[in-house]
Amino acid sequence: MKRTTDNRPAWPDLPEDVRSAVLDVTGRLKDTPGALLPVLHGVQDALGYVPDTAVPLIARELNLSRADVHGVISFYHFFRQTPPGRRVIHLCRAESCQAMGAVTLEKHIKQRLGIDFHQTTADGAYSLEPVYCLGNCACSPALMVDGELKGRMTPQQFDAWLNAEET
Amino acid sequence: MSVTVYVPRDAGALSLGAEAVAAAIAGEATRRGLDIRLVRNGSRGLYWLEPLVEVDTAEGRVAYGPVTPGDVPGLFEADFLHGGRHALAHGPTEAVDWLKRQQRLTFARVGIVDPRSLDDYRAHGGYRGLAKALAMSGADIVKAVTDSGLRGRGGAAFPAGIKWKTVLDTPAGQKYVVCNADEGDSGTYSDRMVMEGDPFVLIEGMTIAGIAVGATHGYIYLRAEYPHAHQALLAAIAAAEAAGYLGENVCGSGKAFHLEVRLAAGAYICGEETSLLESLEGKRGQVRFKPPLPAIQGLFGKPTVINNVITLASVPVILDQGAGYYRDYGMGRSRGTLPMQLAGNLKRTGLVECAFGLTLRELVEDYGGGTASGRPIRAVQVGGPLGAYVPASRLDTPMDYEAFAEIGAMLGHGGIVVFDDSVDMARQARYAMEFCAIESCGKCTPCRIGSTRGVEVIDRIVAGDAAERARNEALLRDLCQTMLAGSLCALGGMAPFPVLSALDHFPEDFAGRADKAAA
């Protein structure tokens, strides 16, 4: 059954960009079976994360409970509930990378950025996330910056990349 | 006349700078007024030579690598467009020893064709399997898959034909084919290589599965960590739809098969088939009880064929060449070929597709060339984070499901991660438990709680004296038994394998710090 269009905005405090991002995605995907993951991907693609404020609207549009939506967001490592830094670094922690010095690389990157996993630098430039395999195990250790994969990373190469970013 | 130059678009090659190499080659050719056709192929799987540039010459394709943008002017100077001599030259690609000795059935086209070109796919034998399948009954297609001996390549090694037959024999208004492309095991990347390098073969395999069991809709559940594979699949699906290989009327047969890619969201557990189905339904990826089997009540409660990428991508060659052709490769009950992935600390990493039966030593020493660090091999983890650590003394074990089970290990998805003698096996054991704790879906207690307790017990072993160590080792072994026997799925049920293998084969690494200080 289709909901009749209600022009009165629910949740008047909801930021307009969040509202339009959610409605745009749900408008396209709400009728696809098992729509919640594609919807959350769409919202995160648009906003960089899935804000808590978006949850009630997503739930209403998909006819789910807020608990259902929150439960799914919090289950999957990929969905963020806080805004990301301008660059998101996914560093592989898995065995193949460990065999090629990923532990040393991890220490170096954390020290260099001054943050731990799941944190963002104070200037909002970088977020650091662990990842368990990027499928680049033939070129370990690996990391991915916003979808760009880098292989056979060394602390020196990381520094060179970071310096290039900051100039 | 235009010369064809191949520079891979494979994610691994890109991670080593292939994009810049492609740009440098195009730029240099323009500067010199030379007419070249640049094809962005998949990877041949020789990752120590990536970016591997190939040139189509009168003598066939010749290889140069690893190429950096800085090498490009020199390659033109050496007339590489006509196979000229150069320090990076390896001669005809097919004659490179690493490739020459392989038996590439599933990977027949990977690295060779343009993955964006349906014409190229057809020109290299593509869609012949589907053509044969469309002339057969569903039962005959399933019989061919059963007769080929193909077992699930995702790791569980369950006979694919039996799964398919269950779906075929279960009456339902709607059935599904689901491809498990949530390749999360460390050391594995063959799914990624196929999807990036030859996406049509997966589409063809899934279409054949759909036609066989009467499923009209397929999903590829792809991990979010694979953006390059995502692009390749979307392009290939669009091309297959446009050419009538997918849609309401597949190749004019009157049979429908629609295909859709769904992105995962970074949960390792969603590689477990029932958890994957929950995720596709838009829920938390929590494991389901079995029975009912997915083949009877799978996606949205309907009969579902769910197979790994490599399993489905091996179907076209079986239908094309016949079940016997595939079955003639292999040993014992492991039939056909296995794409094995060499990773970790090796001189030469990459993809080796061979019949079952090769020994682990042949793989890591002959193909792999020993460790990259030059130090002795100490441990090899086969089959991902839930696979046992095999000590150097067991390297002569043949790659065969049953032979690995005999030594308390598993082949899994064919990932092989090599560690040199600098590895601390207590740390690896701790990591196995930590990983299980991070990725547990939380449904069953042995996995959810056991993994956290496992980390704590290993910490106490390493920190304590001999008496403390003995007490906690007994506790750890007991905990592992509980997890092995009491977990709902393979995550909690197999995470003890790396732990116990480390404890059994490398006990010296667990000697407490107190002992080390006293010694």
Tens digits of per-residue pLDDT, B283-311? Answer: 999 999 999 999 999 999 999 999 999 99
The rounded radius of gyration (Å) of the Cα atoms in chain A is: 19
SS3 content of chain B, % helix, strand, coil (to 5): 45, 15, 35
- Residue B219 CA, chain-centre distance (Å), reads 18
CA-nearest of B196, B203, B212 to B240 is B203
How high does pLDDT run on average in chain A? 94
User: H or E element: which one contains B307?
Assistant: strand B304-308
**Same domain as B373, residue B240:** no
Chain A neighbors of B190, CB-CB under 8 A = none
CA–CA separation, B427 vs B502, rounded Å?
A: 9
A1-15 tens-digit pLDDT? 455 555 556 777 899
Chain A neighbors of B285, CB-CB under 8 A = 75-76
> Looking at the domain assignment, is residue B343 inside a domain?
yes
Q: Do B265 and A150 touch (CB under 8 A)?
A: no
**Same domain as B411, residue B429:** no
Tally of domains within chain B? 4
**Global ipTM:** 0.95
Q: Do B428 and A151 touch (CB under 8 A)?
A: no
Beta bridge partners of A89: A128, A145
What mean pLDDT comes out for the span A4-28?
84
Q: Do B344 and A95 touch (CB under 8 A)?
A: yes
CA–CA separation, B220 vs B207, rounded Å?
A: 12
Search chain B and give the residue with CA nearest A149: B15
Q: B397, B420, B443 — which closes off a domain?
A: B420
**Same domain as B457, residue B395:** no
Q: What is the dihedral angle through the alpha carbons of A56, A62, A66, A72, rounded to the nearest 10 degrees?
A: -120
Chain A neighbors of B350, CB-CB under 8 A = 138
What mean pLDDT comes out for the span B48-58?
97
Is it the case that residue B513 has pLDDT exceeding 70?
Answer: no
Q: Do B12 and A95 touch (CB under 8 A)?
A: no
**Same domain as B357, residue B299:** no
Q: Does A40 touch chain B (CB under 8 A)?
A: yes
Cα dihedral sign for A105, B379, B386, A150? positive
pLDDT for residue B512: 65
Q: Does A34 touch chain B (CB under 8 A)?
A: yes
Q: B326, B354, B371 — which closes off a domain?
A: B326
> Looking at the domain assignment, is residue B107 inside a domain?
no
**Same domain as B438, residue B413:** no
pLDDT for residue A10: 72
- Dig out the tokens for B389 from the structure: 């650590």
CA–CA separation, B182 vs B71, rounded Å?
A: 37
DSSP secondary structure string for all residues of B201-228:
HHHHHHHHHHHHHT--EEEEEE-TT-HH
> Looking at the domain assignment, is residue B105 inside a domain?
no
What mean pLDDT comes out for the span A122-142?
98
For residues B391 and B502, the answer to whether their CB atoms sit within 8 Å is no
**Same domain as B11, residue B143:** no
Tell me, what CATH number does B349's domain have?
Answer: 3.10.20.600
Cβ within 8 Å of residue A107, ≥6 positions away: none
Chain A neighbors of B188, CB-CB under 8 A = 133, 135, 137
CA–CA separation, B267 vs B282, rounded Å?
A: 13
Tell me, what CATH number does B479's domain have?
Answer: 1.20.1440.230
Q: Does A97 touch chain B (CB under 8 A)?
A: yes
Q: What angle do CA B128, B309, B329 make, to 5 degrees?
A: 65
Is it the case that residue B482 has pLDDT exceeding 60?
Answer: yes
The beta-strand segments (E) located in B237-301 are 258-263
Distance from CA of B275 to the nearest CA of A (A): 12
Q: Do B385 and A95 touch (CB under 8 A)?
A: yes
User: Does 3.40.30.10 match the CATH number of domain A87-166?
Assistant: yes
**Same domain as B372, residue B286:** no
Mutate to test the interface with B, among A72, A75, A157 (most CBs of B within 10 A): A75
**Same domain as B72, residue B132:** no
Cβ within 8 Å of residue A106, ≥6 positions away: A91, A93
Domain range enclosing B135: 118-326
Q: B286, B303, B326 — which closes off a domain?
A: B326
Give the closest of A77, A100, A136 to B11, CB-based.
A136
Q: What is the dihedral angle through the alpha carbons of B460, B464, B466, B467, rounded to the nearest 10 degrees?
A: -70
Q: How confident is the model at residue A66 (pLDDT cuts 50, 70, 90)?
A: very high
